[in-house]
Amino acid sequence: MSEPAFTVVDIGGTTLRVARYDPVAGVLGDVRRIPTAGMARHPGAPVPLSQQRVLDQLSELLAAALPRHGSSAVAVAFAGPVTADGRVLAAPTIWGGRGEPLPLAALLEQRLGVPVAVVNDITAAVWRYADPDATGEQFCLLTVSSGIGGKVFRSGEVLLDADGHGGEFGHWTCDRSPDAPLCDCGGRGHLGAVASGRAMEAAVRAAARADPAGYAGSRLAQVAADPERPDNAALVEAIRAGDAFATAVLRTGLVHLASAVTSLFTAIGVRRFVVMGGFALAVGPLYARYLTEEVARLGCFGLTEAEVQRMVVLGVPDDDHGLIGAGRLLAARTGVRQAVAL
């Protein structure tokens, strides 16, 4: 009898990745990347047309991949809110406007003739770190990149309602001042607008304007003399080099993220936070260290200092979270014995 295999997809605004996943070994194979056939390639296209293009693209790729992979099922990690039955409610980075809900799982099953699971990309990523056999396991996956997201895993499932709501930490209002930064969603003072990688880039430029002497003496100024020019690459380099000016900017955002962490602990007792995302992983261990320091400063009622110090860990520094997580989720749903989680 042949070993089980799945075909897994991770689709974002610019790139679509498809791969073969071996749930027994826990490894990916035949990983292929292509540009997503959405608004990045076809700017200005109506939402229904972009939806059709993406559906056709996925159908064609998967129809070719299934026999090549010897696959019995498909899992898709999708960058947008997804309901429990695999309907995509919105995809701002893929087809822009909200449009009508797209029953992606059902449409792909009709075209391919195999079971298809469609979940939010962060929901999929959670499963990379989950142990479905660990009764009562609980943790939160936080992603810090151009925005901020997060999902909680508890006792074998990701905590979401049937319409996909839950874990939108990036849209928690943490700054109620009238001039708080605008979020991409149009709201003001959301966590993603003050603590994401994109927010940090805006914050360091604002800090440079407010304190030109401090900026001039920083490592950042060696890279970008113009205070309007430092980007995240320069900011990350300066933080990793121990630059006080850059580190202070990072901490302004981490104060708010730490507040979200302590609130979640206080509400439901989550004591393990896995941090991933391009910005956080680029900063590296210092990101986890500084976030932990802010959490400790705020305090977690009932925990010792040693317990607080163990709360935050970094995720694996690669971009396979959605693919591996989608495969692990599918294995859990189909009862396939899995390799140990990464």
| pLDDT single digits (tens) 283-301 | 999 999 999 999 999 999 9
- SS3 sequence, 98-147? CCCCECHHHHHHHHHCCCEEEEEHHHHHHHHCCCCCCCCCEEEEEEECCC
pTM: predicted TM-score of the whole model, two decimal places: 0.86
Mean residue pLDDT across the chain: 90
Ramachandran area for residue 155 (φ above 0: left; ψ -120 to 50: alpha; else beta): left
Q: Report phi then psi at 86, rounded to 5.
A: 85, 25
- Residue 340 pLDDT greater than 70, yes or no: no
Q: State how far the Cα of 333 lies from the Cα of 8, in Å rounded to an integer.
A: 14
More confident residue, 185 or 159: 159
What integer pLDDT is reported at residue 288 of this predicted model?
A: 97
Q: What domains can you pick out in the chain, each with its CATH number?
A: 6-129+319-334 (3.30.420.40), 138-314 (3.30.420.40)
Q: Work out the pLDDT band at 1, boundaries 50, 70, 90.
A: very low
Question: What would the pLDDT profile of 38-97 be if each residue is shown by its tens digit?
Answer: 888 999 899 999 999 999 999 999 999 999 999 999 999 998 889 989 999 988 888 887
> pLDDT higher for 193 or 334?
193
Six-digit token string for 203: 């914050």
Residue with tokens 């607008």: 193
